[in-house]
Structures are given as structure tokens and as C-alpha cells.
Amino acid sequence: MPIINYVEFNGKEHAVDVAEGVSLMQGAMDNMIEGIIAECGGCGVCCTCHCMIDPQWAETAGAATKDESELLEILDTREENSRLSCQVRVTAAMDGMVVRLPESQY
């Protein structure tokens, strides 16, 4: 299983195994990592699973869809590398990926 490195806004790191095909959101929730609220349960409609993909991993994670990008526009904390973690499915190529979590979700 790929290891995903979740980094809380305060710098606390969590390196966890996440199965391929599982969303970054579900990987965080399964490992009880704070900073992913996921109010909509992963339907991609609430922005409470906002994360920032480390720039070196942005291409591997892929680009946000038009709908996802439009939804992210409502966030004051949006960054160039922002994604909804429910929309990013883990692949073997993501082993070692760094995912940062915003302070606004604590």
C-alpha cells in the first residue's frame, strides 16, 4: 500500500498506509487524522475535506475537475495546489505523497 504523509497545519505529521483506489479523504478518516471533516461523506459538495497537495506531487494527483475547482473558489484558504481530498484516489505512484491540511478545518 502507498504511504501518504498527512501534515496538520501545526506541523504534526502522520505517515499512513492507504490502499490504492481509496480517496485521500477516506485514508485520513480511516486513520483518525484530524483536519478532514468530510461533512458530505465524500460527495464533493461541501469543501470540508480541503487539502493542499505538496507541489512536487501535484502532477501525480492530477488536476481538479471544473466542478471541483469552482467549489474550491468559495474558500478563503484556497491555494494553487488545493484539492478536495474526496476527489483524489490513491495510486501506487503516490507512495510518499505529502498532503497538507488547513487550519480552518480544526
Superfamily of domain 3-105: Beta-grasp domain (3.10.20.30)
pLDDT surpassing 90 at residue 46: yes
HEC string of 67-85 equals HHHHHHCCCCCCCCCEEEH
Could you tell me the three cell numbers for 47?
469543501
What is the percentage of the chain residues whose pLDDT exceeds 70? 100
Confidence (pTM) = 0.95
Q: State the DSSP code for 22.
A: S
Q: Is the pLDDT of residue 106 over 90?
A: no
12-45 pLDDT, tens digit each: 999 999 999 999 999 999 999 999 999 999 999 9
Measured CA to CA, the distance from residue 8 to residue 33 in angstroms comes to 9
Percent of the chain having pLDDT more than 90? Answer: 98
